[in-house]
């Protein structure tokens, strides 16, 4: 955590100086986060909040990606014919060269079929909840105000009728 804090502080200071000099693009999440916390004259309002938000996004993203990869490996070990198809596609796209970002768009079996199917079967968010603030009509159904509506994505993704 100390190392994450030190790296974050260094990046915050670099970005804050670049932003003050008008040398920022504002394209990344990090830029937008800093812009929301930057005060023109006094610099960054609260670096602790920024570091906390960066940690949250980093660790949540890491956990989500790692769980998807674990489920991908489990399903590929069960369905070895798909494992073979994925392996063949990767070798066809990359050959003996090292995989790179540009080749990802060519991996139709791996990305479009395998990873999307893993996300369908084991979504990172298993339920969505929303508060209905005012009475709402959905076809013949009336949802009263102050009702919590839940959508169990895990069940929806597995229901053949849906």
Share of the chain above pLDDT 70, in %: 81
Q: Judge whether 124 and 67 are in contact, CB under 8 Å.
A: yes
Confidence of residue 2 (pLDDT cuts 50, 70, 90): confident
What's the pLDDT score for residue 62? 72
Residue with tokens 């504002």: 26
Radius of gyration of the chain (CA): 22
Report how far residue 11's alpha carbon sits from residue 1's, in angstroms, rounded to the nearest whole number.
15
Q: Judge whether 32 and 26 are in contact, CB under 8 Å.
A: yes
What's the pLDDT score for residue 148? 96
Own/partner long-range contacts of 78-82 (Cβ < 8 Å, ≥24 apart) = 82/109, 82/113, 82/114
What six digits make up the tokens of 32? 């937008």
Give tens-digit pLDDT for 98-130: 988 888 889 999 998 999 999 999 998 889 999
Q: Judge whether 127 and 154 are in contact, CB under 8 Å.
A: yes
Q: Is the pTM of this model over 0.75?
A: no
pLDDT reading at 80 higher than 90 = yes
Q: Judge whether 103 and 95 are in contact, CB under 8 Å.
A: no
Confidence of residue 92 (pLDDT cuts 50, 70, 90): very high
Give tens-digit pLDDT for 23-61: 766 666 666 666 666 554 345 556 667 777 777 776 767
What's the pLDDT score for residue 6? 82
Q: Which of 103, 83, 102 is nearest to 92 (CA)?
A: 103
What's the pLDDT score for residue 41? 37
């Amino acid at each position: 955590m100390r190392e994450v804090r030190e790296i974050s502080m260094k990046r915050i200071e670099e970005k804050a100086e670049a932003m003050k000099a008008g040398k920022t693009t504002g394209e990344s999440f990090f830029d937008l986060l800093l812009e929301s916390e930057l005060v023109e004259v006094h610099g960054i309002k609260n670096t602790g909040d920024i570091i906390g938000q960066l940690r949250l996004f980093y660790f949540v993203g890491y956990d989500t990606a790692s769980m998807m990869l674990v489920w991908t490996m489990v399903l590929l070990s069960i369905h070895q014919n798909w494992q073979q198809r994925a392996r063949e596609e990767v070798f066809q796209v990359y050959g003996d060269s090292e995989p790179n970002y540009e080749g990802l768009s060519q991996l139709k079996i791996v990305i479009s079929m395998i990873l999307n199917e893993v996300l369908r079967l084991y979504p990172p968010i298993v339920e969505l909840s929303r508060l209905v603030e005012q009475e709402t009509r959905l076809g013949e159904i009336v949802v009263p105000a102050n009702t919590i509506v839940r959508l169990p994505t895990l069940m929806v993704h597995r229901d053949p009728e849906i």
